[in-house]
Structure 1
Amino acid sequence: MKQYLWIKLLICYIFSAVFMFILLNTYAANRYEDKLIEDKKSLLYNEAASISDEYMTSFYNEELSLPNLTTQIKTIGAILNARIWIVNNSGFVISDTKPDAESDSPINVLDMNPDFLDSTFHNHTVMKGVLSEPMLSVVYKVIYKYQVQGYIVMHSSISSIQKECTHVVDIINICFILFLGFLFLIFSYIYYLTIIPLGKLNKAASEYTKGNYSYILKMKRQDEYGSLANSISYMAGEINNLDDYQKKFVANISHDFRSPLTSIKGYAEALQDGTIPYEMKDKYLGIILFETERLNKLTTSLLALNSFENHGTLLEIVSFDINHIIKKTAESFEGACTQKKITLNLIFASKETLVDADMGKIQQVLYNLLDNAIKFSHHNSTIKISTVEKGDKVFISVKDNGIGIPKDSIKKIWERFYKTDASRGKDKKGTGLGLSITKEIIAAHNENINVISTEGVGTEFIFTLPRTEGFLL
């Protein structure tokens, strides 16, 4: 791709240069030459009119002799670089500014071109033996006493006009060559700005396509290419993280499915072949049902997470008393708390605290947080659940005095299947999806949940809900 774009730029450069060169030396040169001819015609005509006004009346009044007239027009001809004739009515040239005109035989214009004096302008006058080269000629009629007494003919060399035109075009061509050099620098700069970064981006995209997400795309630029490079690098990093996440996901889900499936298969085969005594079948059938429930819970949790990520779950927002939901949820853990001799301390800001939320989903959040708190609390400890009203928000806190979360694990607890080593060894019933579901539910409500934890001291989860003044359901 780099070479292809480079060739396209080069073709554009060459085409532009050739096209402009041809344009300058054909159309532009011809147009300029035509303009010089028109300007020359106008100048010669005006000078002929001036000669007629200043000298010809005196000449016809015999106040100015023919030699003196010739001297005057020779001076004008030298200034204009033109040959001037004074022609009488018979077509004879009676005065000529050519230096050796006196030694030449008389010139009769009508003998060479009978129609010459009838036209004012002649773009290409050729008179062999009289004019040494083609001339641009202007014929001006001299009127004296209301009659044409003669003619003033001004000749200017066409080659001199062409030389002037060529000189100007040559200067333009030199400027154009200098401009081509400047244009080459511009194209080189465009190449540097576009083709080189595109090559780097293409190389990076090729590496990422091959799965080499560790490839470093180096592009220190502050323009759109720099932004694109940063976006591609970020995308590659996210894909790399996603790839790692998928591997961990498969590993975790395989582990969590394999363990109950192994138990179910083993005990089912043992019951089938009679390895387990008949009187013990109820016990092992109970284990099979327990492991089946684990699989069902894991599957349900995965489906719940998937629905949140795909925005497939609609929230049923209602106004309810969060204090009442906390009490009901706490009651469902009475057996677990009694077993570990854990006290649940409920502290509410007011008797009723109304919030707008999905009551079922928030009850699931409270259940997950309380379940975690009890699971990681010590025997004979206290778990505090409180609500605090601040402005239009209600802050709900679940705080335990358990083992805490290691500092390097706090950011990871929201990930699917993530478990600290202590929890995986201590509790094999957890799916590692509870906190992930909790965070997704709170995020679906456009609210926040935070965690404060110190290892060996305890953990506190705090989330917010919008406060309402609605009616209690």
Structure 2
Amino acid sequence: MVKKGLFSKMLATYTIIISMSLIIIASFLSYWFQNYFLDQRKEQILNNSYMIQTYTMKYMAGDATWQQLNDIITMIAENIKSDIWLTDSYGRVYAISNKEHKELMYKQVFVKELEELRLGNTFEVTGPYAGVLDKTVRVYGIPIMNEGTFKGSIILYNSIEELGQSLKRVYEIIWISSIFAIIFSCIVIYYFSQKIIIKPLAEINSVARRISNGDVDKRVYLKSNDEIGELAQSFNFMADSIEKNEKNRREFISNVSHEIRSPITSIKGFISGILDGVIPQEKEKYYLSIAHEEIQRLTRLVNDLLDMSAIEAGEFSLRIMEVDINEIIRLTVINYERKIKEKRASVDVCFDGDSLFVAGDRDRLVQVITNLLDNSIKYVNEGGKIKISSKSKGKKAFISVFNDGPKIAEEDLLHIWDRFYKADKARTAKDSTGLGLSIVRNIITQLQEDIWVENKDNGVYFTFTLMKVK
């Protein structure tokens, strides 16, 4: 998927960008070199024209023969690879370097440019010049002046085709170099893309597939300090979270299965015993009462599971209103009077005033106080002491639930808010679902408040905060 999608797109994009860049550079270099070559050619011609002028003036003064002059221009023409004509003041040719053009001897050429030459100016033209030259040439005309008098001209020209042949090799070097540069760049991009991007992404993709197939312990091992390395780290963090969630899910299913199977097994056993006549008739009521307790335990577990499911699914809605937390504490203590007496515990309720109004959901706050009080009753010593207090400090109300039972071990403090966690499994196996404190923390968190537990010399304190209204 990565190789057919991301890699091909990236390689195509980079190839197009590099190709366009090198094509533009090659075109610019070709254009620049052509102009440079022609400028150098012109400079070379102009430099050699001075020597031609010198011998021409000697010829005109009778100091040199026509053959000598013709030999000189032939030599110079071969040296600069140009054809040279000499014309008189009327534009008639009287000397040529290339014998193939001997039919032009004494013919008048470039009449239109003659006036420009008489003014002492050079000219530069390109064209086929039918009747004079049948092929396209580049012509340079240079006047021969003697003390301000026009004596004739030097005509130097090159075939455009010949100039093109000279430039062709340079063009080939430029464009072949560009093509090799494009191919080399593509190879380098391919190699480094594979090494830096594609292979790491393929490894991440492979590990992701294995995790999706259930191998949640797999991780990506990449040594890279760039964005790919950060992606690998983020992926591993995600994998850690998935592994943790998978572990929690399995533990949750295992715990729920155990918690549900235990009361169902008891209920089934007692009812089967009654139906089969194994249990004496006079004890049927006793065993039915035990089955009833197991059903109540199962009901509590189901209700807690529904609450936990609603919390984790984000469907746990709160109806915030003004609530008297002191009144909730009083009613909860009254409702637990029977359990308190069974434990022969004493309960002290301490308030700063008769009422303490806070912002919260009444039903959920009842659930919080109920779970915390129920937890204290389970762990308080036989004949021990439970204390519930509410205090007002600034804009906050602090509610504490204390029991003088055994302290919570340090390793248990780290997990006390976890689902199904029971610090003393022997004492709470039948009395607790292991979800109460987890639900309490989630409710307080939903209210954007804090809750914590402390071990003190005389017992254990659970304390949470609420926002005051009055």
Determine helix, strand or coil for the equivalent of 1:316.
coil
1:33 deviation in Å? 6.8
Aligned partners of 1:356, 1:21: CA distance in 2, in Å? 71
The TM-score with structure 2 as length reference comes to: 0.76
Aligned partners of 1:105, 1:76: CA distance in 2, in Å? 17
1:121 is the counterpart of 2:129: no
> Aligned in 2, Cα 1:309/1:20: closer, same or farther, shift over 3 Å?
closer
1:313 is the counterpart of 2:316: yes
Q: Is the 8 A contact 2:93 2:106 kept in 1?
A: no
1:245 deviation in Å? 2.1
Q: Is the 8 A contact 1:122 1:138 kept in 2?
A: no
1:196 is the counterpart of 2:199: yes
Paired letter, 1:289: H
Q: Which has the higher contact order (CA 8 A, sep 6+)?
A: 1
Aligned partners of 2:356, 2:386: CA distance in 1, in Å? 20
Determine helix, strand or coil for the equivalent of 2:323.
strand
- The within-5 A match list for 1:400-411 is 400-411=403-414
1:430 is the counterpart of 2:425: no
1:463 is the counterpart of 2:467: no
| Worse overlay, 346-355 or 190-199 | 346-355
Q: Is the 8 A contact 1:413 1:419 kept in 2?
A: yes
For 1:397-434, what per-residue CA distance to the aligned partner results, in whole angstroms no more than 9, with x for missing partners?
212221232222222222222223x3444551321111
Aligned partners of 1:255, 1:457: CA distance in 2, in Å? 35
Q: Is the 8 A contact 2:419 2:435 kept in 1?
A: yes
How many residues were matched structurally?
448
> Aligned in 2, Cα 1:370/1:29: closer, same or farther, shift over 3 Å?
closer
Determine helix, strand or coil for the equivalent of 1:237.
helix
Aligned partners of 2:128, 2:47: CA distance in 1, in Å? 20
Structure 2, unmatched stretches of 5+, are 114-123
Determine helix, strand or coil for the equivalent of 1:356.
strand
Aligned partners of 2:340, 2:130: CA distance in 1, in Å? 126
Aligned partners of 1:344, 1:441: CA distance in 2, in Å? 25
| Worse overlay, 199-208 or 172-181 | 172-181
Paired letter, 1:384: K
1:121 deviation in Å? 3.2
Query: In the alignment, which residue of structure 2 is the partner of 1:86?
Result: 86
Query: In the alignment, which residue of structure 2 is the partner of 1:450?
Result: 452
1:86 deviation in Å? 2.4
Query: In the alignment, which residue of structure 2 is the partner of 1:339?
Result: 342
Q: Is the 8 A contact 1:447 1:463 kept in 2?
A: yes
Query: In the alignment, which residue of structure 1 is the partner of 2:250?
Result: 247
Q: Is the 8 A contact 1:124 1:137 kept in 2?
A: no
Q: Is the 8 A contact 1:329 1:367 kept in 2?
A: yes
Aligned partners of 2:169, 2:100: CA distance in 1, in Å? 36
Query: In the alignment, which residue of structure 1 is the partner of 2:120?
Result: none
Query: In the alignment, which residue of structure 2 is the partner of 1:370?
Result: 373
Determine helix, strand or coil for the equivalent of 1:465.
strand
1:170 is the counterpart of 2:173: yes
1:138 deviation in Å? 3.9
Percent identity, please.
28
1:82 deviation in Å? 4.2
Aligned partners of 2:101, 2:243: CA distance in 1, in Å? 103
Paired letter, 1:468: V
Determine helix, strand or coil for the equivalent of 2:102.
coil
Aligned partners of 2:387, 2:34: CA distance in 1, in Å? 101
Aligned partners of 1:386, 1:94: CA distance in 2, in Å? 130
> Aligned in 2, Cα 1:124/1:181: closer, same or farther, shift over 3 Å?
farther
Q: Is the 8 A contact 2:87 2:94 kept in 1?
A: yes
For 1:248-301, what per-residue CA distance to the aligned partner results, in whole angstroms no more than 9, with x for missing partners?
222222222222222222222333344444444433333332222222221111
Paired letter, 2:87: V
Query: In the alignment, which residue of structure 1 is the partner of 2:117?
Result: none
The TM-score with structure 1 as length reference comes to: 0.75
Query: In the alignment, which residue of structure 2 is the partner of 1:230?
Result: 233
Aligned partners of 1:117, 1:20: CA distance in 2, in Å? 47
Paired letter, 2:125: F
Aligned partners of 1:360, 1:2: CA distance in 2, in Å? 53
Query: In the alignment, which residue of structure 2 is the partner of 1:107?
Result: 102
Query: In the alignment, which residue of structure 2 is the partner of 1:441?
Result: 443
